Amino acid sequence: MSTGADAAPGSGGPDDGLRPEPENSYRDNQQRLDQGMAVMGGIAGDVTVINAPLDEDVTDRIIRPRLREGPYPEGEVRSRLRWFVEPHSSVQGRKVLDSRVLVLRAGSGAGAGTAAFALLEERHGAGGITGLDSMEDLARWRPRERRGYLLQGLSPVAAAALGEVVLNGLADLLERLRAHLVITVRVDIPLPADTEPWQVVHRPPPPAEVAAKRLLSMAEAGELTIRQEAEALGHLASADFTGYLHAHPLPRDAVAAAEKLGELVVSGRPAATALDELQTGSPESARRALAESSHRADSLSLMAAISLLADQDRTVIQEFSAILRPRIDERDGPAPAGEGAGPPRNVLGLSFEDRLEAVGARLLPPRFGAAQPYPVQPVVFSGRHRSEALLRCLWLEYEGMAGLLWEALYETPHRSGIELAAGRAIGKVLAHATGPNTLRQLAPFAASDRRWRRRLVAYALGELVERPALTSAVRRQLRQWSRSDLVPLHCTVAETCAGAYGLARPATALALLDAVLDRPGKELEGRLRTAVSFALSTLLSEDTNHLPVLELLREWQGAEPGTPRHHMAVHAVTSMSLTAFPLPGAPAEKRIRLADLLVNHPEQAFGLVVAALNDPATHEATAMGLSLIENDPALRQLTFFPHLLGALSGVARGHRGVLRFVLRHHRARTSPSAEGLAS
């Protein structure tokens, strides 16, 4: 469980009070406690401590990005290509890529990105692909190593600057390193005429082949029996489904058709029902459904709740719908004076399941999860993309509805998971919005004192940056918030870095984290420290980010004492020396110990240890951490501790803190009455 409502400035939540102060620890046999639990004396066995207020169990789930600036994890590439169907245009793409550069033109949703991954994976393997910023100025960009480089969604500005001279120069640079570059560009973005030799128009693979391969994957995963797979393939070859795929040729439509066919053969429902449900995800169907319910506030509020709060329990849907309904009713103003003369009013209303049926939704079977102590019964629309289409129409096409939805969300009591569901749904909607208010409407939640609202904004921004055209706008907004005087906005920036945005753009994320701590003379509040710790732990969950994070911590360690940067470094080093960073009880994607760093990154960890021993604020904790490693036979062997100790002795003359540690270690090991390094 993670921290929810923020503690007062300076109290810091679950990760306060780490720095060892042996001279004060037991003075007068008293302890002071601002938050959490105090224990005096020894503990035998396990202790479980819950740090979060029970009214705000905030979701810390990390959404892995599909679009990255930097190396793509090997497993992620393999997963993306597992059921790839090669389009016919890939044959020509290979020929052009022999010249080192390929410009792949495609319509939205046609699968050009996946085709580009496949072409680069053939030449550099699943672990040899690096993403580039869509705003990259290719005239100045330089490849650094033999890899496959992928730039998805080239911006109009960068596209206009692309020409024969630039592409020939890139080809020469890539040839020297035996590297390759694939650029994907939307078909509606103009390119200079002299780039035509590098261009290939991507055509999506036949949708029937995509659907058939998806059914095969479902059978191999055990979701369908051999008989059910054969039955589904028979339906796929029917005239009705062939006609549907002809009218909807994109890969995502083919996947949706295959999954609907899987549901069909398992449930035994008629094929006509499946086709009807597939049609409900279109924008036209969404507009028609909203128009038909325009006079029914109960139906509109229910559709909005289901669209906004995916995978939430029926009670959460009902609660949000009940909050939103009177606001929609108020849009019509007061009821006419003579309305009371009509037939008796139904004060009971329809049952929840009847209301669901009226809007084309249904209840899924109850399910149990490890994170929930109670069963959850989600509500879904029958069509796969209906939620997204309905919410987009309601939010963007009807005046004032976006404001009503924000108001209802603000007043909705927090329930675990709504920040994830609502944040992702809102992000997908805002990806289609226009105008200066697109990101500004997130500001009230971003500046909130409630962590779940800030997490909602983080999830929304994580969805937005999956669209290359919006990357620079999101980056600009985060930089603006990082320069604000409001601590909650700084927390939102850090929370955003603790997710898809940070993993997709680690260098930018580290720069933003450095910026929110650039407050000389300001105290580092506990909630901001917790948010930055969460962001760093998320970045540390991927190996390629370890070295940049360690370099930044070392830089913060050298900052002026008393500044937020120095305070953050002290907290991180103390945590990983004594237990782990972030501390147990604080939100984290991965917890890391000093021993882990010494094993996996000995050179960088050595530099961090030297800096920490030289800093009076971290000397005792680091010395204690080294003592714990030395006294553990397994860790002593894994970290090559004698070699580490020899290296510290070698630099001790130039580092006063290291010299103090080495001398004390020597005395402790040569004195028969010594009690250990930390005594």
How far apart are alpha carbons 451 and 154 in whole angstroms? 35
pLDDT band at 134 (very low <50, low <70, confident <90, very high): confident
Which residue bears the tokens 């890969």?
A: 251
More confident residue, 678 or 558: 558
Rg of the chain over CA atoms, in angstroms?
A: 29
- Lookup: tokens for 370: 């490890």
Question: Residue 150: enclosing H or E segment and its boundaries?
Answer: strand 148-151
Peptide bond into 582 cis (omega under 30): yes
- Lookup: tokens for 658: 């290291």
- What pLDDT, in 10s, does the model give residues 531-583? 999 999 999 999 999 999 999 999 999 999 999 999 999 999 999 999 999 99
Q: Which segments within 72-115 are labelled E, that is strand?
A: 101-106
How far apart are alpha carbons 2 and 16 in whole angstroms? 14
pLDDT of residue 651: 92
Burial (CB < 10 A; 0-12, 13-18, 19+), residue 565, is buried
pLDDT at 502 > cutoff 90: yes
> What are the angstrom distances between the C-alpha of 36 and each of 3, 32, 472?
11, 11, 41
More confident residue, 161 or 32: 161
pLDDT of residue 57: 78
pLDDT of residue 343: 58
- What pLDDT, in 10s, does the model give residues 143-194? 999 999 999 999 888 999 999 999 999 999 999 999 999 999 999 999 999 9
More confident residue, 568 or 345: 568
Question: Residue 380: enclosing H or E segment and its boundaries?
Answer: strand 379-381
Question: Residue 184: enclosing H or E segment and its boundaries?
Answer: strand 180-186
Question: Amino acid identity, residue 54?
Answer: L
Sequence-separated (6 or more) residues with CB below 8 Å from residue 163? 192, 194, 195
- Lookup: tokens for 19: 């720095």
pLDDT of residue 56: 56
pLDDT band at 371 (very low <50, low <70, confident <90, very high): low
More confident residue, 344 or 316: 316
pLDDT of residue 27: 33
Question: Amino acid identity, residue 4?
Answer: G
pLDDT at 34 > cutoff 90: no
C-alpha 677: how far from its chain's center?
42
Question: Amino acid identity, residue 143?
Answer: P
pLDDT at 676 > cutoff 60: no
Q: What is the average per-residue pLDDT within 66-89?
A: 93
pLDDT of residue 679: 39
**Alpha-helical runs (H) found in 517-640:** 526-540, 546-557, 564-578, 594-600, 602-614, 619-630, 633-638
Q: What is the average per-residue pLDDT within 6-35?
A: 38
SS3 letters for 624-643? Answer: HHHHHHHCCHHHHHHCCHHH
pLDDT of residue 535: 97
pLDDT band at 4 (very low <50, low <70, confident <90, very high): very low
More confident residue, 636 or 136: 636
pLDDT of residue 429: 96
pLDDT of residue 381: 84
> What are the angstrom distances between the C-alpha of 254 and each of 1, 117, 181, 258?
39, 20, 29, 6
Which 3 state secondary structure label does DSSP give 363? strand
Q: String of b and e for 356-365 (b: at least 16 CB within 10 Å)? A: bebbbbeeee
